[in-house]
């Protein structure tokens, strides 16, 4: 599970620190482009590599006229490498933000850049080439979490210290609120009504804010539900996950809430998105499953094969990709993975240790994600990979209808 920062509200705020420039601009400090080739994660050095030996005929064999034999062997080894283990030869770019940053939420901006939150009181912008600009939130202490593109051409974010923020693409930040004391809003999403909707983890509410800053809050039927992330559904309603309630919630634009129980006890749905099939898809951090719920409330769960869910750090963020799949992070296993609407799972290992958190489709069609290693990652799903995927179909699925 993505590590959630401590966003408990302290009503007695500390004095602001020494004035700092609200805008910190610097070129990218570190960028790595890595190609995964076979399980030992060799970097690409030109030509195909399997293990430590380049696939090429030796001069001695060529002198002996054995070129045809060598060619057959090379092709055979190549095919074996392509179809063994998890999917290979996919490109990751890892962009270091700052040694003092902690990226969390992420989204594509209307300006063609990628925007992300820094739980240490800043909002970040990254160009597709990796150039980073950081904007400090004017109200401190601050802990920005979820972020989304608003209907007004700005970016909106939820701040764990009971505020909702708006930032223009030029970096001007305006704060609205506070929400009810202890609200600790996390997820935020644009609704079909032209407003922004957010999940209040701390006080078990779902909030709505107009682009003018007017806030309305709705309590969930479950007393201790802990709403986490929220998204607009294909049915014109807003859908959200209840971390403690172990339910998926639906709220109409008028504020009527309906809850649906998740079959797996203690699953902890940490992230939810709308799928290309007209359903909602969510991750189960402690259940180590990917869930699907229809707009009628029927839930199906897909078990992650060989999942590593130590201490609940299983699948984290989830988002619909441009390829018709649902893409999600695997925190402990250091993977970016995908699931088709029929339940076929593909996994891609991130080179090095990064612990991916949340993800989003960028303006370039790639998957961009935040990590606990203080990097922003990019995964090029548009690269040719049809022959490179190793698909693992879930062996266990469970379906349950809505409670009467």
pLDDT of residue 359: 98
Say which residues have a Cβ less than 8 Å from residue 63's Cβ, sequence separation at least 6.
none
pLDDT of residue 91: 83
pLDDT of residue 120: 97
What DSSP assignment string belongs to 61-89? HHHTT-HHHHHHHHHHHHHHHHTSSS--S
Beta strands in 131-236 (DSSP E): 132-136, 144-149, 155-159, 163-167, 173-176, 185-190, 196-200, 205-209, 215-219, 227-232
Give the pLDDT of the chain (404 residues) as one tens digit per residue.
444 443 333 333 333 333 332 223 233 333 333 333 222 222 222 222 222 333 333 344 344 444 444 444 444 444 444 433 344 435 899 999 998 999 999 999 999 999 999 999 999 999 999 999 999 999 999 999 999 999 999 999 999 999 999 999 999 999 999 999 999 999 999 999 999 999 999 999 999 999 999 999 999 999 999 999 999 999 999 999 999 999 999 999 999 999 999 999 999 999 999 999 999 999 999 999 999 999 999 999 999 986 554 544 689 999 999 999 999 999 988 999 999 999 999 999 999 899 999 999 999 999 999 999 999 999 998 644 432 333 333 333 333 444 33
pLDDT of residue 382: 66
pLDDT of residue 388: 33
Domains and CATH numbers, the chain: 30-82 (no CATH), 94-400 (2.130.10.10)
d(CA 184, CA 158): 8
d(CA 293, CA 138): 39
Say which residues have a Cβ less than 8 Å from residue 395's Cβ, sequence separation at least 6.
303, 305
**Quick one: how many helices (H) and strands (E) in the chain?**
2, 34
SS (H, E, C) 345-400: EEEEECCCCCCEEEEEECCCCCEEEEECCCEEEEECCCCCCCCCCCCEECCCEEEE
pLDDT of residue 313: 60
Prediction pTM value: 0.76
pLDDT of residue 381: 83
Structural contact between residues 250 and 402, judged by C-beta atoms closer than 8 angstroms: no
d(CA 127, CA 115): 9
Beta bridge partners of 208: 197, 216
pLDDT of residue 341: 97
Q: Which two tokens stand for residue 149?
A: 């593109």
């Amino acid at each position: 599970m993505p590590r959630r920062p401590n966003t408990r509200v302290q009503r007695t705020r500390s004095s602001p620190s020494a004035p700092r420039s609200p805008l910190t601009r610097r070129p990218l400090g570190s960028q790595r482009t890595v190609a995964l080739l076979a399980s030992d994660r060799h970097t690409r050095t030109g030509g195909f590599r399997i293990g430590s030996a380049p696939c090429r005929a030796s001069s001695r064999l060529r002198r002996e006229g054995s070129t045809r034999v060598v060619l057959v062997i090379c092709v055979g080894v190549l095919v074996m490498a392509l179809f063994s283990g998890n999917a290979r030869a996919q490109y990751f770019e890892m962009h270091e933000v700052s040694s003092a940053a902690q990226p969390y939420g992420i989204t594509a901006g209307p300006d063609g850049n990628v925007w992300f939150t820094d739980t240490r009181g800043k909002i970040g912008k990254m160009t597709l080439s990796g150039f980073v600009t950081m904007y400090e939130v004017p109200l401190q202490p601050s802990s920005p979490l979820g972020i989304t593109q608003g209907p007004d051409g700005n970016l909106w974010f939820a701040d764990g210290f009971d505020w909702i923020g708006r930032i223009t693409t030029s970096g001007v930040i305006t704060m609205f609120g506070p929400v009810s004391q202890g609200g600790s809003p996390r997820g935020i999403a644009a609704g079909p009504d032209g407003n922004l909707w957010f999940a209040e983890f701390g006080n078990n509410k779902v909030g709505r804010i107009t682009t003018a800053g007017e806030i309305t809050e709705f309590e969930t039927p479950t007393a201790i539900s802990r709403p986490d992330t929220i998204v607009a559904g294909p049915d014109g309603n807003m859908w959200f996950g209840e971390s403690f309630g172990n339910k998926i919630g639906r709220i109409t634009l008028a504020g009527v809430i309906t809850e649906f129980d998740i079959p797996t006890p203690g699953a902890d749905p940490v992230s939810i998105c709308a799928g290309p099939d007209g359903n909602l898809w969510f991750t189960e951090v402690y259940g180590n499953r990917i869930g699907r719920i229809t707009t009628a409330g029927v839930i199906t769960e897909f078990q992650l094969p060989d999942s590593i869910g130590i201490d609940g750090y299983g699948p984290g963020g989830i988002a619909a990709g441009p390829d018709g799949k649902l893409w999600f992070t695997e925190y402990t296993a250091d993977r970016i993975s995908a699931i088709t609407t029929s339940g076929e799972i593909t996994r891609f290992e991130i080179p090095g240790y990064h612990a991916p958190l949340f993800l989003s489709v960028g303006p370039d069609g790639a998957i961009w994600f935040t990590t606990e290693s203080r990097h922003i990652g990019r995964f090029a799903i548009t690269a040719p990979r049809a022959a490179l995927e190793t698909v693992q179909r879930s062996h266990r699925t469970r379906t349950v209808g809505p409670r009467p």
